[in-house]
Amino acid sequence: MDYNAWKKHITEDRVASVKGFNKLSESHKKLFMRVYLAHLSAMGTDFRQKYLPDNLKSIKWVPEKNCFHVFWHGDTEWFHYDTRGCWY
């Protein structure tokens, strides 16, 4: 399988059922998807499995922080995704 073949399966349709995603504006949806794909691209193949769309729990835009708070099922780890395209 092509190293980047997984990317074609990461679409807004796959993320649409995640709590909070449909509350985002169109520009915030596009920003989230851009940062999310960049985040996944930085991971190794095995590690990435934990963060695929089926494992996303919720996404929330936090205007006072100018970032998203992103949570995954079964994991206490969460990330900030900011408008610069960074995650932390």
Q: What is the mean pLDDT of the segment spanning 9-30?
A: 95
Q: What is the mean pLDDT of the segment spanning 80-87?
A: 97
d(CA 80, CA 45): 22
- Determine if the pTM surpasses 0.75: yes
- For the chain, domain boundaries: 19-75
Q: What is the mean pLDDT of the segment spanning 2-31?
A: 89
**For residue 47, pLDDT beyond 60:** yes
Residue 62: the pLDDT is 98
Q: Could you tell me which residues come within 8 angstroms of residue 33 by beta carbon, excluding any fewer than 6 positions away?
A: 10, 12, 15
